[in-house]
Each structure stands twice: as C-alpha cells, then as structure tokens.
C-alpha cells in the first residue's frame, strides 16, 4: 500500500510540474506493471474491488490508445481506499506496539 502511494504521489508531483505526455504515460505504466501487482487479477490491492479495478484498467487502456490524459486521474478512484487502508494498518500497528511497551 505504501509503495502504491509513493508512486501515486510521484505521479501527481510530476503531473503538477507540467511533464510531457510521454513521461506521464511511463509513470502510469510503471504503476500498472509494478512487481507488486497493484491491479493484477490475483494479487490486486485487497481494498480495491472488481468494479474499481475494471474502471482503472479501462482508464489505463484509454491512456495507451491516447483517448485519455495520463496522470493521477487514472488512479483517483482507488487512491482514497488505499489511503484509508494504509491508515488502518498503521493504526493497528501502533496499537500493537503500545500494548507491547506496557
């Protein structure tokens, strides 16, 4: 989850800086093809349901064929869910650590 958010933040930063289409497409492709398989059928992020995954993959396809602009918008549908899930995981971890310290 953290890796996805780091890559998303980089994509957003480069987008806001006004990068060219080629660089933006490269960053989108890196996120989709990452070894963690953020959007793979079997290894997809657990907080992303099938409908969301399908919509994001459709946007990626549109970026590849040039009918949609590459940028953070491609992944905006799943971004809030990933942030929420990572926050939940971090909270659980902090609770566990605080119990061990007692």
E strand map for the chain:
none
pLDDT at 31 over 80: yes
pLDDT digits (tens, 9 = 90+) for 34-58: 999 888 888 777 888 889 999 999 9
CA atoms of 93 and 99, how far apart (whole Å): 10
pLDDT at 73 over 90: yes
CA atoms of 9 and 89, how far apart (whole Å): 19
CA atoms of 33 and 27, how far apart (whole Å): 10
Mean per-residue pLDDT of the chain: 90
pLDDT for the residue numbered 51: 92
- Read off the pLDDT band of 89 (50, 70, 90): confident
pLDDT for the residue numbered 35: 93
CA atoms of 89 and 83, how far apart (whole Å): 10
Place of tokens 């079997």: 42
* Alpha-carbon distance values, 33 to 4, 12, 20, 57, 69 (Å): 12, 18, 20, 11, 18
């Amino acid at each position: 989850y953290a890796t996805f958010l780091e890559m998303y933040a980089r994509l957003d930063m480069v987008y806001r800086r006004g990068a060219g289409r080629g660089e933006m497409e490269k960053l989108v492709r890196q996120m989709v093809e990452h070894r963690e398989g953020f959007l793979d059928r079997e290894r997809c992020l657990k907080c992303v349901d099938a409908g969301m995954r399908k919509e994001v993959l459709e946007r990626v396809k549109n970026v590849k064929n040039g009918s949609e602009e590459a940028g953070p918008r491609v992944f905006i549908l799943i971004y809030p869910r990933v942030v929420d899930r990572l926050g939940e995981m971090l909270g659980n971890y902090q609770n566990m650590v605080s119990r061990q310290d007692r």
